[in-house]
Amino acid sequence: MALATDAPRPDLTPLSTRDPRSAGPYRLLGRLGQGGQGVVYLGVDGGDRQVAVKMLSIDLEHDPKAKARFGKEIAAARRVAAFCTAQVLHADLDAEQPYVASEFIEGPTLHRQVRDRGPIAGNALYRLAVGTATALAAIHQAGIVHCDMKPDNVILGLDGPRVIDFGIARALGTHTLTGNVMGTVPYMAPERFQNTDVGPSCDVFGWAATIAFAASGRGPFGHDSLATVMARVLHEPPDLANLSGPLLEIVQESLAKDQHARPTAEQLLLRLLGHATRSAPEISLGTALREGSDAATTVLPAPVGPGSGTATVTAPALPATAPALPSTASEQATVAVPVPAPTRVAPAPVGWARRLGRQAGDPIGISAAIVLGAGGFAAGYVASTDTGTAATIGAAAFGAVYAVRLVLAAALDRGTEQDPSGR
- In the sheet that holds 22-23, the strands lie side by side as 22-23, 26-35, 38-44, 50-56, 99-103, 88-92
Cα torsion angle, 221, 226, 228, 234, sign:
positive
With vertex at residue 422, the alpha carbon angle to CA 416 and CA 423, rounded to the nearest 5 degrees, is 85
**Phi, psi at residue 203, to the nearest 5°?**
-70, -35
Task: Quote the DSSP letter at residue 85.
Answer: B
Instruction: Say which residues have a Cβ less than 8 Å from residue 178's Cβ, sequence separation at least 6.
Output: 36, 340, 341, 342, 343
20 class by beta-carbon count within 10 Å (0-12 exposed, 13-18 middle, 19+ buried): middle
State the catalytic residue, choosing from 92, 94, 116, 148: 148
Torsion of CA 28, 34, 36, 38, to 10 degrees: 10
**What's the CA gap between 384 and 348, in Å, rounded?**
52
**Residue 323, number of CB atoms within 10 A of its CB:** 16
Q: Is 148 a catalytic residue?
A: yes
Cα torsion angle, 164, 167, 171, 173, sign:
positive
**Phi, psi at residue 43, to the nearest 5°?**
-130, 170
Active site residues: 148
